[in-house]
Structure 1
Amino acid sequence: MKVKIFLNGEKIEMEINPLKRLIDVLREDLNIKSVKEGCGEGECGSCMVIINEKVYNSCLIPVGSVNNKKILTIEGIENKKILKEIKRRLKDEFQCGFCENGMLISLYALFKKKRKPNKEEIKEAISGNLCRCTGYQNIVNKLKIWKNS
């Protein structure tokens, strides 16, 4: 099947098995390494991407289902002001870093939609991201303080 996606603002067309997982297409075919596979079951959030402005686990998405859609990874938003500020606020919060890109994608999507989310909305945004090292409370607190200032 011919699939066309708009990855980080770039139009990409490829002949590919429509059932191949999006994470595999991103990592293997398009060399996007920020999208990591942790569980392969949509539980950990390390493979998060933004598809048409909503956050999804790319390990659960067949590439055929994103035909003609806009996909954003960390590479596509790393120069955005919102992401830079989130990263600045959370500097040194991620201990091993494995969950970091998924968390940043989830938080970027939240702050892009809502300028001043409350504590519960921040918690909800990162609820799909598993972090065994850092935990969540410091992340929530640092972002809550920033948005309330």
Structure 2
Amino acid sequence: MNIKFWLNGIQRQEEVDPGMLLIDFLREKGCYSVKRGCETANCGLCTVLMDEKPILSCSMLAVRIDGKKIVTLEGLQKEAEEFGTFLANEGAEQCGFCNPGFIMNVIAMLRELEEPDEEQIKEYLAGNLCRCSGFVSQTASILKYLNYKKTQEEA
């Protein structure tokens, strides 16, 4: 099946098998930040943005991105690097396997919620699993990042 879509800002046209999962399709296209975790849509490792909204690529067929804008972590390097510094400073990166999906959801949350509080952050990120921590350091890094972004806007 032939589909047209945007991947990280570049319009593409590809032939795709109707039964192929989006996660496999994206990894074939070099988007290795998209990780395979639970394969049951429960861990958030495979999170990408579709038309600015986070989706789980392990539970979506690739043909459904026809006409859509898909963004992976590879397409958000500047934002990801900026926030990643806050994760590292809090010791929240641990093994790093869950970071890409986690960062994708944090970026989506910041685009959707103007000034999320700690409870909203926890609720928004409830679908992300990290086997190394209890998200204390991750939450602290988000709050510090939000404060940093707020002071940048005021400057």
Identity %: 37
The alpha carbon displacement at 1:116 in A equals 1.8
> Hey, what does 1:90 align to over in structure 2?
87
Over the residues paired in the alignment, what is the CA RMSD in angstroms? 1.5
Q: Measure, in 1, the Cα distance between the counterparts of 2:53 and 2:47.
A: 10
The alpha carbon displacement at 1:146 in A equals 4.2
Alignment of structure 1 residues 1-149 onto 2, 5 Å: 1-28=1-28, 30-80=29-79, 83-91=80-88, 92-148=91-147
Check conservation: 2:86, 2:144, Cα contact below 8 A. Answer: no
CA spacing shift, 1:63–1:146, aligned 2, 3 Å = closer
Per-residue CA deviation, residues 102-142 of structure 1 (Å, 9 max, x unaligned), is 00000011112234211122112221111010221221123
Q: Measure, in 1, the Cα distance between the counterparts of 2:83 and 2:9.
A: 22
- Structure 2: which amino acid aligns with 1:133? C
Q: Measure, in 1, the Cα distance between the counterparts of 2:117 and 2:19.
A: 38
The alpha carbon displacement at 1:32 in A equals 1.1
Match of 2:5, SS state, is strand
Q: Measure, in 1, the Cα distance between the counterparts of 2:141 and 2:63.
A: 38
Q: Which has the higher helix share?
A: 2
Per-residue CA deviation, residues 46-76 of structure 1 (Å, 9 max, x unaligned), is 1100001110110001011111100010000
Aligned residues: 146
- Structure 2: which amino acid aligns with 1:98? F
Q: Which runs of 5 or more residues in structure 2 are unaligned?
A: 149-155
CA spacing shift, 1:8–1:55, aligned 2, 3 Å = same
